[in-house]
Structure 1
Amino acid sequence: MIVDLINEFPTMEILKNELLNKYTHTAIGGPADWLVFPHSIEEVHKIVDFAHENELLLTVLGNSSNLLIKDGGIRGIVLMMTKLVGIRHDADSLTVLAGTLTIDTSEYAYQQGLTGFEWAAGIPGSIGGAVYMNAGAYNGETNDILASVDVITRNGKYKTYTKEEAKLNYRDSVMQHTHDVIIAASFQLQKGDKTIIRATMDDFNQRRRDKQPLELPSAGSTFKRPTGYYAGKLIMDAGLQGYRVGGAEVSKKHAGFVVNIDHATASDFLQVIKHVQAVVYEKDKVKLEPEVRIMGSD
Structure 2
Amino acid sequence: MIKLNVNNETSRLRAVVLGTAESNGGIPKVEDCYDPKSIEHVLAGTYPKEEDMVKEMESVAQVLEKYDVKVYRPEVIENYNQIFSRDIAFVIEDKFIEANILPDREREYKAINNVISQINPENVIVLPEECHVEGGDVMPWNDYIFVGTYTGDDYPDYITARTNKAAVLELQKLFPNKTVKSFELRKSNTIAKDNALHLDCCFQPIGKDKAILHKNGFLVDEEYEWLLNFFGKDNVFEITKDEMYHMNSNVFSISEEVIISEKNFTRLNTWLRAQGFTVEEVHYSEIAKQEGLLRCSTMPLIRD
> Which TM-score applies when normalising by structure 1?
0.30
Whose strand proportion is higher, 1 or 2? Answer: 1
Larger radius of gyration: 1
For CA contacts below 8 A with separation 6 or more, give which structure has more relative contact order: 2
